[in-house]
Chain A
Amino acid sequence: MRIAIASGKGGTGKTTVVANLAVHLKNSKHSVAVADCDVEEPNLHLFLNPHLDIEKTAVVPIPEVDNELCTGDDCGLCAQLCRFKSLILMAGEVMVFPELCHGCGLCTLACPEKAITEGSRAIGVVRSGKANCIPFTEGEMKIGEAMAPPLIEEVKAASPQCDIELIDCPPGTSCPVIKALDGVDFAVLVTEPTPFGLHDLDLAVLTLRQLRIPFGVVINRDGMGNSCVHDYLNREKITLLGAIPHSLKAAQAYSKGLLHVGNVEGFDDHYAKLWENIQQSIGEARS
């Protein structure tokens, strides 16, 4: 079963929830794996301290033009067809701009002279290993790179099969998130009880409704703001899976990269309750 932990914006505590829930599940003898798909800012490792012994370079295809075969100015078809402006014809030769290429393969397919073959270009790395017996996979995108979705796909593919797989999603509602949410059974949205939190939650809710993924909401730092999120959930008839209280102790533990489970009084119960509610919601979504 794949469960995504997502949020409309960053910094709501999404990663904290993944880390604590994973440890709670492991402590209660579940088979659980985690995958950090927030490849722009992978932070889960800071909380789970995994030992990552496998590292693989993630690549995307990139065209390579054989200038012997290419008829250049007489043709120019590839440059004309490429939707991402990653090929241009200059001084009779085709130039490739690798950062713009989406690796769609159209140029290779279209070239009448078979002058294009596909090589590969590194976009980041996928690392895997274990964090205290929990299988752990993460991706890290190269700085200055813009192609997150293919890397996210590789992270998900590299994550081993377990009864429960927790996916730490990138924030937002655009392409990377959609890729991370692809094929998940349930999503847990993490938010904060503030006007910014509510606004971003609403976007995340729209996204999940559009993707038809069942979901529930966790309010993190409950009590720090006002009741706007609670009111919204009631109005929209969205399941509140849990409310994790605002506490300076919890913020301090977090700042040091410490987990709440096992370190902050009362938080083990919050996560036990959260898991109970998630299971119940998944059950209801299935029936």
Chain B
Amino acid sequence: MSPSMNTKTIKEIVVISGKGGTGKTSVTAALASLGPQKVLADCDVDAADLHLVLAPKNIRTEDFVAGERAFINTDSCVDCGLCLEHCRYGAVSEDFQIIPENCEGCGVCAFVCPEDAAVMLPRTCGVWHVAETRFGSMVHARLGIAEENSGKLVTTVRKTARELAEAQGASLILTDGPPGIGCPVIASLGGANLAIAVAEPTTSALHDLKRVFGLTKHFDIPLMVIINKSGINEETAKVIRDYCKDNGVEVAGTLPYDKAFTQAQINAMSVVEYDPEGRGKDLAAIWERIQTRLNQQDQ
């Protein structure tokens, strides 16, 4: 198959969770060890964890430069105070220094400065890598501390993953999405073929699942749910199942509360590798359902 033909058939699955800590990354790592040849994308750029299980070997590293940041040249500054007066983000101190973590890079200070002492400089917000793992190529990234533009970094990671998939003729991109429902999640969902929400049976997770559902509906992305740690509260697990049923969301599977997940993590393994006969089988069944759902989309 030529790379250009393959473009159309590449499917992208994004694993999300709303609330953090539901086991999203453990599930992504497990799915990574199943299925066809794929490219992995870690879009949890704020706190990426997938690499702790997949032990990627980086073969390419790039700075992520996005937007600008203000800088005040003290030599030409005449202390007129205009920048301080007009900055809406509290990023100019009383003694006319830029407080980098507050600067939005909007350029107002540079615009109002009569002496051209305030200038805008390109901003390095983080770093991204292309790497090899035992389950395929992986793109991962790290946003610098107190940096913005996580949405753009997510977009960069996804774009690179797609280019890799095209070049390798891989049929699938599996993405570990960021938690929440804010700008990085929105950036990780646009144009994906399927979102998989990992939910635990807790009141908080149910609340978040509803918001995630609203978000995927808003962007018109099909959603499947995996209920994790079902043993904690069977009642709430049922409420989640009912909620999914009422809203036409397919449950891809249910996983029990199992120490195997933590043990797999401690051993830097996916739970499919750590416990192939137990949780590994559950995940294989989940993978089957996901695959069926993806195939249905083609018809």
Residues of B within 8 A of A9 (CB): 20-21, 47, 49, 179
Pairwise interchain contact A194-B265, C-beta atoms closer than 8 A: yes
Residues of A contacting B20 in the complex (Cβ-Cβ under 8 angstroms): 9-12, 171
Provided the pairs A103-B88, A109-B112 are in contact, do residues A143 and B266 lie with their beta carbons within 8 angstroms? Answer: no
- What distance in Å separates the Cβ of B269 from its nearest Cβ neighbour in chain A? 11
Task: Determine if A285 is an interface residue (Cβ-Cβ < 8 Å).
Answer: no
Q: Would you list which residues of chain A between 217 and 237 have a CB under 8 Å from chain B?
A: 224-226
Mark out the residues of chain A between 78 and 112 whose CB falls within 8 Å of any chain B CB in the assembled complex: 81, 83-84, 102-106, 109-110
* Chain B positions within 8 Å of A162 at CB level: none
B74 touches A (CB below 8 Å): no
Select from chain A the residue with minimum beta-carbon distance to B215.
A143
Across the interface, do A172 and B111 meet the contact criterion of CB distance under 8 Å? Answer: no
Q: Chain A 254-266, CB within 8 Å of chain B: the 1/0 string?
A: 1111000000000
Interface residues of B in 143-182 (CB under 8 A from A): 143, 145-148, 150-151, 179-182
B178 closest partner in A (C-beta): A172
In the complex, how many residues of chain B place their beta carbon closer than 8 angstroms to a beta carbon of chain A?
Answer: 59
CB distance from B296 to the nearest CB of A (A): 27
Between A and B, 6 residue pairs with Cβ closer than 8 Å are: A11-B21, A110-B111, A146-B182, A148-B183, A171-B47, A211-B146
Inter-subunit contact A12/B236 (CB<8 Å): no
- Give the complex CA separation of A84 and B107 in angstroms: 10
A11 and B68 CA atoms in complex are apart in Å by: 33
* Given A46-B203, A83-B67, A173-B145: A255 touches B233 (CB 8 Å cut-off): yes
Among the stretches B6-14, B34-42, B206-214, the one at the interface with A is: B206-214
B19 interface contact, C-beta 8 A? yes
**CB neighbours of B25 from chain A (8 A):** 196
The verdict on B202 contacting chain A, using a C-beta distance below 8 Å, is yes
Residues from chain A with Cβ under 8 Å of B106 in the complex: 83-84, 102, 104, 106
Q: Which of B231-251 contact A (CB under 8 A)?
A: 232-233, 236
CB-contact partner of A105 in B22, B108, B200, B257, under 8 A? B108
Q: For the complex, is A251 an interface residue (Cβ under 8 Å from B)?
A: yes
Of B19, B89, B101, B111, the residue contacting A41 (CB under 8 A) is B19
Q: Are A141 and B203 in contact (CB-based, < 8 A)?
A: no
Knowing A9-B179, A104-B88, A110-B111, the reply to whether A174 touches B147 (Cβ < 8 A) is yes
- Total A-B Cβ pairs within 8 A: 169
Kindly list chain A residues whose C-beta atoms are within 8 Å of the C-beta of B262: 194, 224-225
- Which residues does chain A contribute within 8 Å of B215, judged by CB atoms? 143-144
Question: How far is it, in angstroms, between the C-alpha of A43 and the C-alpha of B200 when the chains are bound?
Answer: 14
In the complex, the answer to whether A106 meets B108 with C-beta atoms within 8 Å is: yes
B266–A226 touching, CB < 8 Å? yes
Contact with B along A27-62 (1 / 0, CB 8 A): 000000000000011010010000000000000000
Q: Given A15-B204, A146-B186, A178–B180 Cβ distance below 8 Å?
A: no
Min C-beta distance of B173 to chain A, whole Å:
22
Cross-interface CB contact of B233 among A15, A196, A225, A256, cutoff 8 Å: A256
Whether A178 pairs with B203 at a CB distance below 8 angstroms is no
Q: Which of B104, B143, B182 has the most CB of A within 10 A?
A: B182
Q: Which residue on chain B has the smallest CB distance to residue A104?
A: B106
Across the interface, A83 reaches (CB within 8 A) one of B68, B214, B219, namely B68
A238 at the interface (CB under 8 A from B): no
Q: Determine the distance from Cα of A143 to Cα of B212 in the docked complex, in whole angstroms.
A: 9
Partner of B52, one of A106, A199, A206, A224: A199
Complex Cα distance, B180 from A80, in Å, reads 33
The size of the chain A interface, using a CB distance under 8 A, is: 57
Residue among A41, A206, A207 having the largest count of chain B Cβ atoms under 10 Å: A41
For A9, the closest partner residue in chain B by CB is B47
Q: CA of A58 to CA of B95 in the docked complex: distance in angstroms? A: 31
B49 near A41 with CB under 8 A, answer no
- How does the 8 Å CB contact mask read for A105-146 relative to B, with 1 for contact and 0 for none? 110011000000000000000000000000000000101111
Q: A8-B47, A146-B151, A211-B101 are in contact. Are A104 and B207 (CB under 8 A)?
A: no
Distance (Å) between the CB of A275 and the closest chain B CB?
23
Contacts of B203 in A (CB 8 A): 46, 255-257
Chain A: CB-nearest residue to B204: A43
Greatest chain A CB density within 10 A among B236, B259, B262 is at: B262
Q: Is A203's CB within 8 Å of the partner chain B? A: yes
B181 touches A40 (CB 8 A): yes
Contact partner of B46 (CB less than 8 A), chosen from A11, A110, A173, is A173
* Given A104-B108, A145-B182, A174-B147, 19 other A-B residues pairs in contact with their CB atoms under 8 A: A10-B20, A15-B204, A104-B88, A105-B88, A141-B182, A146-B183, A173-B47, A173-B143, A174-B143, A174-B148, A175-B150, A182-B90, A196-B265, A207-B146, A226-B266, A255-B202, A255-B232, A256-B202, A257-B202
**Docked-complex contact A83 and B105, CB < 8 angstroms:** yes
A230 CB, nearest partner CB in chain B, Å: 14
Give complex CA distance A83, B104 in Å.
10
Complex Cα distance, B268 from A199, in Å, reads 13
Residues 166-195 of A, flagged 1 when their CB comes within 8 A of B and 0 if not, give 000011111110100010000000001011
The answer to whether B88 and A194 have CB atoms under 8 Å apart is: no
